[in-house]
Amino acid sequence: MGKSIVVSATLARSNFFSFELIKREEVDSLFDVTRFNEAIIYDTNLPWHTDLAVLTKQAGEIVGVAGASKTCTKLWQIGIEVLPKYRNLGLASYLVTG
């Protein structure tokens, strides 16, 4: 995916995850991964779109996403979603603070 930044981290229970920052033009590639409705704005008819997203991957599979959209000049909205199997490992916190 384009000019993505990949960072590696080890979190709780010694699971290895990689984290990838993608920009607005790359977010379109996530439109076929519609299971992250709380993190990515999939409706292209809305006046705002996901401008940045951080993906959490394990073994190449996306298991969590934090998406940010600039909904007005002074407000960014953040949505976070982690697949149920990967919850309670600190991934959501890491996505917004790491």
Tell me: the pLDDT tens digits for 43-87?
Answer: 888 888 899 999 999 988 999 999 999 888 889 999 999 999 999
Distance CA 73, CA 87 (A): 32
Quote the pLDDT of residue 68. 94
Write down the mean pLDDT value for the chain.
82
Distance CA 4, CA 11 (A): 21
Does residue 12 surpass a pLDDT of 80? no
Quote the pLDDT of residue 4. 44
Q: Which range, of 1-10, 11-20, 46-55, 74-83, averages the lowest pLDDT?
A: 1-10
Q: Return all residues near 29 (Cβ < 8 A) that are at least 6 apart.
A: 1, 22
| Type of residue numbered 90 | G
